[in-house]
Amino acid sequence: MRYLTLLLALIISSSAFSGPYSYACKIAGEYRVESKDGKLTTPKPNAKLYEGKDFNVDRKSGVVLGAIDNSSYEKKVVLDRGSKQQSFKLIWYSYTGFGAAANYLTIREYEESEKKPFSAIIDWEVLSGTCQ
């Protein structure tokens, strides 16, 4: 059943998910942290994993589906659902035999425009774009 839900979410247009209870997002920028000097770099075009792709966020549960997917993570914590004064903030993490994995997403809900800027840290990737 879980896989059927995921499949349906990916098939349905991302605009169907947008609204007061969810976000439909598009990734515009993708950067990597270099191990040599810690600077952010832009990957070569054929090495980009996320740029130009979409994902959806459930504001209540913190479930993220699409190019970014947190459905397999143990914990999803919505730190702030966002408001006219605050950004939406979400962290998800899990513990494996190899250690802990944690990721972070923030969406500027307080922006007046229909498109809300976001930033995300997914492992060694830093992503940016907009959500509606």
From first to last of its 132 residues, the chain has per-residue pLDDT tens of 554 444 344 433 333 444 579 999 999 999 999 878 889 998 888 889 999 999 999 999 999 999 999 999 999 999 999 999 999 999 999 988 888 999 999 999 999 999 999 999 998 899 999 999
Q: What is the pLDDT of residue 97?
A: 80
Q: In Å, how far from its chain's centre is CA 54?
A: 9
- pLDDT of the residue at 8: 40
Q: What is the pTM for the complete model shown? A: 0.81
Select from 57, 56, 67 the least CA-distant residue to 30: 67
Tell me the CA distances in angstroms from 86 to 6, 14, 27, 103, 112, one per residue in order: 29, 24, 21, 19, 12
Q: What is the pLDDT, as a whole number, of residue 96?
A: 81
Q: What is the structure's pLDDT at 3?
A: 44
pLDDT score for 2: 52
